[in-house]
Amino acid sequence: MDLFNLSAAPDLRKSMLDLASTKAKATRSSIKMQDCTVFSRAGFRGTGAEAFLASHGIAIPTKPNESLSCQASLVVLRLSRSEFWIISTDNSEHAKIEALEVAAMGVENVYPLYCQHSHACFMLTGAETENMFSKVCGVDLRNNVFPVGAVAQTSVARTGAIVTKQTHAQGDYFLLFADIASVQYLWEALTDAAAEFV
């Protein structure tokens, strides 16, 4: 027991999001949202987590509530002094993430987290995204105060959420992580909020 591999069977993962109900609104908006819930990710917490990740070549943000992009499509979030999430933003790094999770088993003071299955993940792009967020979130996510690499652990549409801003070749984007059981509700709330930005 206690060898529970949360990265197992990636092909059997299924997001419970039903996009049909919001398709019309989403199509009109200049803000584009992608459901990345099934994309591979892993989380680690504990006083040994930072050293563990560093030993596996993972670049670590220097301060809590920061994120950075490393190794192509990997984004690393530092949510506290001792909590880290590693996200594959295009689902191309499953092997690396699963290897990390397997390697962490039994490592002292490193506790694997359940973020793969506890959180939905949306990627949001578009110039008006920060203005859309102002309708659903009490944190100022405008570019001048929420630059690339910033992380907010906040509430979005009354649902606990983690928001980070990152950049890739196509430009800046937001990643939003929130309660997976609320995925349908939150998607609909965000689609509604985004609808005015055409």
Partner 1 sequence: MSGHNRLPAPSGLYINRDKSVNFTFEGKSYQGLEGDTIASALIANDQWLMSRSFKYHRPRGPLTMAGQDANTLVQLKSEPNVLADRQNIAANMDVMGQNYNGSLEKDKDDKLGYAGRFMPVGFYYRAFYKPAGIWDKWEPFIRKKAGLGFADLTFKPVYHDKAYLFHDVAVIGAGPAGLAAALKAANAGASVLLVDENPVLGGALTYHRFDIEGVCASALRTKLTHDVLNHSNIRVLTSATCNGWFTDNYLPVIQGNRMFKVRAKQCIVASGAFEQHVVFRNNDVPGVVMSSAAMRLMSQYAIKPANKAVMLTGNDDGYLCALELIKHGVSVPVIVDMRKQVDDPALYDAVVDLGINVLFESTVYEAVPSADKKRLAAVQIHKITGKGQVAANGISLPCELLCMSAGYMPVYQLLCQAGAKLSYDDASARFALTNLPKNLYVAGSANGMHELNAVINDGEVAAHTCLSSLGLASDSPESIACQRHTNFPWPIFKHPKGKDFVDFDEDLQAKDIINATRLGYRDVQLVKRFSTVGMGPSQGRHSALPTARLVAEATHRSVTETGVTTARPPFVPEKLAHIAGRIFSPHRFTPMHQRHLELGAHMIPAGIWRRPAYYGKPADRDAIIQQEATMVRNAVGMIDVSTLGGLEVRGPDAAEFVNRIYTFGFLKQPVGKTRYAVLTNEQGVVVDDGVSCRIAEDHFYITATTSGVDAVYREMTKWNAQWRLSVDIANVSAAFSAVNVAGPLARKVLDKVCSDVDFSNESFPYLAYREGTIQGVPVRLLRVGFVGELGYEIHMPTLFGEALWDLLMEAGAEFNMKPFGVETQRLLRLEKGHIIVSQDTDGMSHPGELSLGWAVNRKKPFFIGSRSVDIVMARKQTRKLVGFKLSAHSTRPKEGHIVLAAANQVDCAITGNVTSSEYSSTLGANIGMAFVGIDQQEVGSTFPIRVDGGEVVMAEVVKLPFYDAGNARQEVI
Give the residues lining the site for partner 1 (CB under 8 A): 1-6, 8-9, 12-16, 18, 37-38, 45-46, 111, 113-119, 134-138, 140, 142, 144-145, 157-159, 179-186, 189, 192-193
Q: In angstroms, give the least distance from the CB of 61 to partner 1.
A: 21
Distance CA 106, CA 148 (A): 34
Q: In angstroms, give the least distance from the CB of 126 to partner 1.
A: 16
Cβ closest to partner 1, residue 3 vs residue 198 = 3
Cβ closest to partner 1, residue 4 vs residue 54 = 4
CA dist list (Å): 92 to 48, 110, 145: 27, 25, 31
User: What is the four-CA torsion angle of 134, 114, 117, 152, rounded to 10 degrees?
Assistant: 10
Q: Coil, strand or helix: which one is 185?
A: helix
Q: In angstroms, give the least distance from the CB of 116 to partner 1.
A: 7
Query: Three-state secondary structure along 108-135?
Result: CCCEEECHHHHEEEEEEECCCHHHHHCC
Cβ closest to partner 1, residue 168 vs residue 185 = 185
Cβ closest to partner 1, residue 12 vs residue 198 = 12
Distance CA 174, CA 87 (A): 13
Q: In angstroms, give the least distance from the CB of 95 to partner 1.
A: 16
